[in-house]
Chains A and B, each alone.
Chain A
Amino acid sequence: EVQMVESGGGLVQPGGSLRLACAASGFRFSGFWVSWVRQAPGKGLEWVASTNEDGSQTYYVDSVKGRFTISRDNAKSSLYLQMDRLRVEDTAVYYCPRDTGFFTFTYWGQGALVTVSS
């Protein structure tokens, strides 16, 4: 059974940093793109970042470029999102869906809540 389990969420002050992790299981992690998608409270879905199978290619939405870094460790079947210089508007539930191809998000975890507030 494919599972994506996010962790590392919490409360952080504006300007602070946080690192999210996503543990994948039930499939060959190194064979798939993976992404981060977020959802602000009461709002819609927003794609944040994606990385290819070996982590050599990374892509970001404009609003997080230069502040967030997506990375992966295939040996650990894990995906990460390093979030620096956090803003209030980054407050959201962050999901790490597996990409079947062309940004088709087939499997989702339950998400990790990140709250940026003073």
Chain B
Amino acid sequence: QSALTQPPSASGSPGQSVAISCTGISGDVGAYTYVSWYQQHPGKAPKLIIYEVTKRPSGVPDRFTGSKSGNTASLTVSGLQAEDEADYYCSSSFAGSTHVVFGGGTKLTVL
């Protein structure tokens, strides 16, 4: 049950785009990998912002996009806004899995 690797920090200016990586995604051969991303503001509960690699729950702005290539997933935040400053966590599981692993988290700072 190895954790996923995320950069500890990322930053960008308002209006810019920033990408956060999540490395170590793996799964059984032929199995679909389920990657989710969570946003957490200080003192608050995590909030799901991306699931199944690229899907956004209702109400999440389309400024948040997810992607995956090989064993690395990425979250891109476009048109950075002050309220995007938060911690972001990735998670991964796969069909038939009995556990899920989280990344260590990335603190996004809006300069």
Contacts and interface: CB of A to CB of B under 8 A. Distances in A.
A62 B100 CA distance: 12
A13 interface: no
Interface residues of A, number: 20
B53 to A, nearest CB: 11
Number of chain B interface residues as a range:
20 to 34
A109 B93 CA distance: 22
A36 to B, nearest CB: 12
Given A44-B89, A45-B38, A108 B46 contact: yes
Contacts of A106: 48, 51, 57
A92 B103 CA distance: 17
Given A95-B46, A108-B46, A59 B34 contact: no
Interface of A: 44-47, 50, 59, 61-62, 95, 97, 100, 102-106, 108-111
Interface of B: 1, 34, 36, 38, 45-48, 51-52, 57, 89, 91, 93-95, 97-105
12 contacts: A44-B103, A45-B46, A46-B102, A47-B91, A47-B99, A47-B101, A95-B46, A100-B51, A103-B93, A104-B36, A105-B36, A105-B46
